Chains A and B, each alone.
Chain A
Amino acid sequence: QVQLQQWGAGLLKPSETLSLTCAVYGGSFSGYYWSWIRQPPGKGLEWIGEISHVESTIYNPSLKSRVTLSVDASKDQFSLKLSSVTAADTAVYYCARGTSSWYRAYFQHWGQGTLVTVSS
């Protein structure tokens, strides 16, 4: 059974860098694409980007200048960094994986979510 476990700092000041990591348990890490999705409080879902096990990345253009995704395949982990955060980046951040390598954008597996608050 695939499980995603995520962690990272929950309170940031404006201009700091958000950093989250997601560990994958119970399934293969290679051959899949790994995504980050966020949800501001009381609002809808926004896809941030995806990374493959060989570090091929695709970012949402709305965030591309500030986002970096990376992978540590030796630990079955992938990470998100978002620089120069503002209050508008306050959200619950989720890591996620698709149902299969073909259906990579149908997000079947999700992390538990991390609330990141940006406040001075």
Chain B
Amino acid sequence: DIQMTQSPSSVSASVGDRVTITCRASQGISSWLAWYQQKPGKAPKLLIYAASTLQSGVPSRFSGSGSGTDFTLTISSLQPEDFATYYCQQANSFPRTFGQGTKLDLK
């Protein structure tokens, strides 16, 4: 299985801050990576796929980059609705695997 490791596990930030979350794959996955946002009691929401493609309807303050084993999710200017948990997920091979999550909360 490909292990996905996110850092940090949690981060505190303020509205308007720029936040970056990283995700590392245990082996190369090309650009087969997605990022999700999850709020309590809700299903995850797809934000970015193919490492850097913004899902339709997702605000442009979200961006993704990377390929191979190292990836980042950046939120350029945090909004109140962005405080949530974020997960990366590899789509390169079976079984599909997720990172452990990064909880973004209000400082």
A, B assembled together: yes
Q: Provide the residues of chain B in CB contact with A113, threshold 8 Å.
A: 43
Across the two chains, which residue of chain A brings its CB closest to B94?
Answer: A58
Contact code string A80-117 (vs B, CB < 8 Å = 1, else 0): 00000000000000101001000101111011110000
Task: State whether A107 and B34 are in contact (beta carbons under 8 Å apart), knowing that A45-B44, A113-B43 are contacts in the complex.
Answer: yes
Q: Provide the residues of chain B in CB contact with A62, threshold 8 Å.
A: 95
8 A Cβ contacts from A20-35 to B: 35
8 A Cβ contacts from A22-75 to B: 35, 44-47, 58-62
The answer for the CA separation of A35 and B94 in the assembled complex, in Å, is 12
| B-side interface size class | 20 to 34
Q: Provide the residues of chain B in CB contact with A96, threshold 8 Å.
A: 43
Task: State whether A47 and B91 are in contact (beta carbons under 8 Å apart), knowing that A107-B44, A107-B46 are contacts in the complex.
Answer: no
A selection of 5 A-B contacts at a CB cut-off of 8 Å is A47-B97, A61-B1, A103-B91, A105-B96, A106-B91
Chain B interfacial positions (CB closer than 8 Å to A):
1, 32, 34, 36, 43-44, 46, 49-50, 55, 87, 89, 91, 94-101
